[in-house]
Chain A
Amino acid sequence: MVAVTAGRTAQGAAGMTEAAAQTEEAAFEAAVAADERIEPRDWMPEAYRATLVRQMAQHAHSEIIGMQPEANWITRAPSLRRKAILMAKVQDEAGHGLYLYSAAETLGTSRDELLDKLHAGRQRYSSIFNYPTLTWADVGAIGWLVDGAAITNQVPLCRCSYGPYARAMVRICKEESFHQRQGFELLLALSRGTPAQHEMAQDAVNRWWWPSLMMFGPPDDASAHSAQSMAWKIKRHSNDELRRRFVDICVPQAQALGLTLPDPDIRWNEERGQHDYGEIDWTEFQEVLKGNGPCNDQRLAQRREAHEEGAWVRQAAAAYADKHRALGESLSQGPGRARPSDGSDTAVTPPDHSGTAAPSAGSEPSAGPSPSTGPEVTAQPMEATT
């Protein structure tokens, strides 16, 4: 943060006068108005902090739960190249979850606390991951549509007023663009393949289109957090604005794929210079949010199970760290980084594999040249116009 905000560092609440509090608030408002970044040690309104924790946690949880529908196909991927790409993608998602939990921790919460809330059903994840992956083409549809919607949502977050979140999004969006391009390319291969493959691709797009539109959240007139988030510059665009932008991006891409979007009401609106589209089934959206989607129970159950069945491993790492700390050994050499506690909230860091870190498929330009209408071009213009 720069000079304007230098005086806004956190102070103990005790001893802060009312005048000082007003100064803090005014400085915060001024920084947001001037498009400066708020940093972890800066003063911020409690509601701003709470909104960010809620949104970032939900975002992190989505990455973690979002591994499941795709991991469902790792063991069945139809070629070794596709298998490598998919494994790398699922690995990236775990990495995104880690970035986002770290960013959320700068607000005074902890990953364990957030995971506990996820497991208890007290924090949400994106509604999209409550839909099942029924065929291989679903992996492509998720890449193209779900990651496409996520990018449309997330590129503006790279300019979010909270610094750690904005910086995490810069890294994440780069990788997400890769995933989206790979998904597009997967669908293209299917669409141009055998009739059975083409049909598989079309069926997947039919099933994922509407849930992807729902990823932008409720319509503007029913969005509880939108106005405040926009005022704080956490959000930059309304749900409907982003959704419409996404439809505009997808229509030509679907044509390039040789696939149709399952909405007879999509048509170009000359007057608005945008596409109109059909009515979203908001009842279904609400049901999925309430926990009644096709896979809500299963997703949460698998996450809880992984956590519970892994408890003895985390406890072992903590116990080992405690013993060897007591013995005065250096912990810097091993994979365990344990917080001094009962082990239940122990972060276990494996050896740093950054030397080999899956440069493999994730960063491999294996998707080949993408067509000019391909997803690659979506992120940049979007950024430029916002």
Chain B
Amino acid sequence: MTAALALGDDALVLSHRLGEWAGHAPVLEEEVALANIALDLLGQARTLLSLAGDEDELAFLREERSFRNVQLVEQPNGDFAHTIARQLFFSVYQHLLYERLAAGTGEFTDLAAKAVKEVAYHRDHAEQWVLRLGDGTAESHERMRRGLDALWRYTGELFEPVEGVDIEWRALEGDWLSAVTSVVGRATLALPTGPRAGSWTAGAGRQGLHTEPFGRMLAEMQHLHRSHPGASW
């Protein structure tokens, strides 16, 4: 239950953030790609939340303190590089996580087996863009560096064990670090040097402690549903 909410909220919230790009992407192909990823994530969220209860009740009627997503996915989009940095950190994590879940025998095996194929595309998309932005122009290099830097402090939380997800979290973190180090290096960038987590972030999102922009995001997302209690759509 806890795990379905945690993983479902991650997918739901990131999907919402990517949905905000619609009509604003730098090139038409990215309109398609970002919407595609958002849709995949929304599909995962719906499956996971349905394991935990009613998907719409959980999405639209919980308040900020009851959401269990990591703080990384709720971060505002920023510029394209910022969005891509968030995608890199999260999709590599999700890919490695779902690979493990798909290989296991727990309640998420089937879901993970389906989702891992989608997530492999998300990861490829993010990595290819990190390469292009990092190793593109001076401006794109600098923007990519700033994006990675700004989000680095939210990455430690990804590896706080989630109750009900039975995997080797330390090993997952090690694989994630080496994968991210590799792609960032090929993009002619270096990993940020700041802390990956502090007392203010470690596991905070999973406990319902979020960052300030998140409440505003939920206000927008939930407003219509909450304005018509009991209605069906």
Question: Which residues of chain A have a CB within 8 Å of any CB of chain B?
Answer: 64, 67-68, 71, 74-84, 87-88, 90-91, 94-95, 97-98, 101, 136, 186, 189-190, 193-194, 196-197, 302, 305-307, 309-320, 323, 334-336, 347-351, 353, 355-358, 360-361
Contact = CB atoms under 8 A, between A and B. Distances in A.
A314 to B, nearest CB: 6
* From B33, B56, B80, B225, residue with most partner A Cβ within 10 Å: B33
A320 B29 CA distance: 17
Nearest to B141: A316
Interface in B54-112: 55-56, 59-60, 79-80
B39 A91 contact: yes
A351 B26 contact: no
Interface in B192-224: 220-221, 223-224
Given A68-B23, A71-B23, A91-B35, 20 more contacts: A67-B22, A75-B220, A78-B228, A79-B225, A90-B35, A189-B232, A193-B231, A193-B233, A309-B26, A310-B30, A313-B30, A315-B140, A320-B135, A335-B129, A348-B26, A350-B32, A350-B125, A351-B125, A353-B33, A355-B121
B135 A323 contact: yes
A348 B29 contact: yes
A94 B128 contact: no
Nearest to A192: B232
A317 B39 contact: no
Interface of B: 12, 16, 19-20, 22-33, 35-36, 38-40, 42-43, 45-46, 49, 55-56, 59-60, 79-80, 117-118, 121, 124-125, 128-129, 131-133, 135-137, 139-140, 143, 220-221, 223-225, 228, 230-233
A190 to B, nearest CB: 8
Contact of B55 (A80, A90, A94, A98): A80
Contacts, number: 191
A76 B223 contact: yes
A320 B133 CA distance: 8
3 closest residue pairs by CB, A with B: A310-B26, A316-B136, A316-B140
A65 B46 CA distance: 29
Contacts of B33: 350-351, 353
A84 B46 contact: yes
B19 A74 contact: yes
B39 A360 contact: yes
Contacts of A189: 232-233
B31 A76 contact: no
A315 to B, nearest CB: 5
B112 to A, nearest CB: 15
Given A95-B32, A335-B125, A312 B143 contact: yes
A87 B233 CA distance: 16
Contacts of B125: 335, 350-351, 353
